[in-house]
Amino acid sequence: MNKIAVLTSGGDCSGMNAAVRAVVRAALSRGMGVLGIQKGFSGLLHDHMEELTTRSVSGILQRGGTFLQSARCKELYEEAGQARAAQKLRDLGVEGLVVIGGDGSLKGARSMHLRGIPTIGIPASIDNDIPFTDMSLGVDTALNNILYAVDCLRDTASSHDRAFVVETMGRNCGYLAMAAAVACGAEFAIIPETPYDIDKICRLLRARYSEGRDNSIIMVAEGAALAQDLAEQIKDCIGFETRIMVLGHYQRGGAPSAFDRILAARFGVAAVEALLEGQSGKMVGLSCSSLQLTDLEKVTTSGTRPIDFKLIRLGETLGI
Ligand code: F6P
């Protein structure tokens, strides 16, 4: 194998740069050239690419976002777009492809594999909704971003007897909201995977207020409810004044945590090694601290990663 390509696709997250760097360094150390495709599959179809060297990936490890840029590519949903993308890679002499991204991007990766391009996927999405990996790239940094924000909100909430409804990302998956609730000691976590009872939440908030508590944090995953709607429902009946914080895209940025940098290094090197071993159509994932390869077919047809009920039980034990 003489030449591989790497791209970042879908929603960006911290650790993508570190993963590209790892892919480039691992490939160059084995004598291969690396083509960096800009703006995901869309950049491939529209010829946005550059040869990557150690110089091109220097100074990016600690930066959030993706220097290759990312995009969601509608053309790749169609057979014709997939065929064009695979042909482009062949014309460019690319013998292996590493795709770094979330569920949609991994579907794109699978389509390249099915069209004869050896392809390995790296899971990257702050939602942690990709199955067959304990953690996706970017999740740990997003969690740390949330904790920083909630710690700040607690300070101001306590000064005014306020409750904050804090909305995290997570379209179909409550991992971020639930894990953040455990890590920041929130009082409630509302997630798409489990039903919630707004009257019970109001009752418990009123009880906290009567006990003289000076603040409350209600974490909500965007896929379960919107912070604004929840605040409207609770504001007049809990004692606390109510404010909201929609964390939005803030969660996706910032310098990657140590965990994400190391995970990116492991995923990136493992992806290159898998290609060299002749593997294709697989995703590198984390399973109980070890790396594992899973067929992209399984990854992309199994639905959203199920919530870890041990995490929910942990939260319940701690009073969430
Ligand atoms: O897939 C990750 C995610 O962060 C979701 O939680 C969120 O709904 C979505 O991306 C928003 O992304 P964008 O605004 O880039 O389309």
Per-residue pLDDT of the chain (320 residues; tens, 9 = 90+): 999 999 999 999 999 999 999 999 999 999 999 999 999 999 999 999 999 999 999 999 999 999 999 999 999 999 999 999 999 999 999 999 999 999 999 999 999 999 999 999 999 999 999 999 999 999 999 999 999 999 999 999 999 999 999 999 999 999 999 999 999 999 999 999 999 999 999 999 999 999 999 999 999 999 999 999 999 999 999 999 999 999 999 999 999 999 999 999 999 999 999 999 999 999 999 999 999 999 999 999 999 999 899 999 999 999 99
* b/e burial code for range 26-49 (CB count within 10 A of at least 16 → b): bbbeeebbbbbbbbbbbbbbeebb
Cα-Cα-Cα-Cα dihedral sign, residues 245, 249, 252, 255 = negative
Q: Is the pTM of this model over 0.85?
A: yes
Find out whether the beta carbon of 126 lies less than 6 Å from any atom of ligand 1.
yes
Q: 301 with 288: CB under 8 angstroms?
A: no
* Known catalytic residue at 161: no
In order of their start, the domains of the chain are: 3-138+256-301 (3.40.50.450), 141-253 (3.40.50.460)
**What token pair was written down for 20?**
């590209």
Instruction: Find tokens 């009946």 and name the residue.
Output: 237
Instruction: Check residue 288 and give its pLDDT.
Output: 96
Instruction: Check residue 21 and give its pLDDT.
Output: 98
Task: Name, in order, each residue with C-beta under 8 angstroms of 96's C-beta and a sequence gap of 6 or more.
Answer: 1, 3, 4, 5, 117, 118, 119, 120, 275, 280
Cα 177 from Cα 166, distance rounded (Å): 9
Cα 164 from Cα 162, distance rounded (Å): 6
Other CB atoms within a 10 A radius of the CB of residue 111 amount to 22
Q: 187 with 204: CB under 8 angstroms?
A: yes
CA of 257 to the centre of ligand 1 (A): 20
Q: What is the residue with the minimal CA distance to atom 8 of ligand 1? A: 171
Find out whether the beta carbon of 15 lies less than 6 Å from any atom of ligand 1.
no
pLDDT, tens digit (0-9, with 9 covering 90-100), for 99-134: 999 999 999 999 999 999 999 999 999 999 999 999
Cα 315 from Cα 95, distance rounded (Å): 47
pLDDT, tens digit (0-9, with 9 covering 90-100), for 147-186: 999 999 999 999 999 999 999 999 999 999 999 999 999 9
Q: How, if at all, do strands 241-246 and 282-287 pair?
A: unpaired
Cα 181 from Cα 241, distance rounded (Å): 20
Closest-CA residue to 89 (of 116, 52, 54): 116
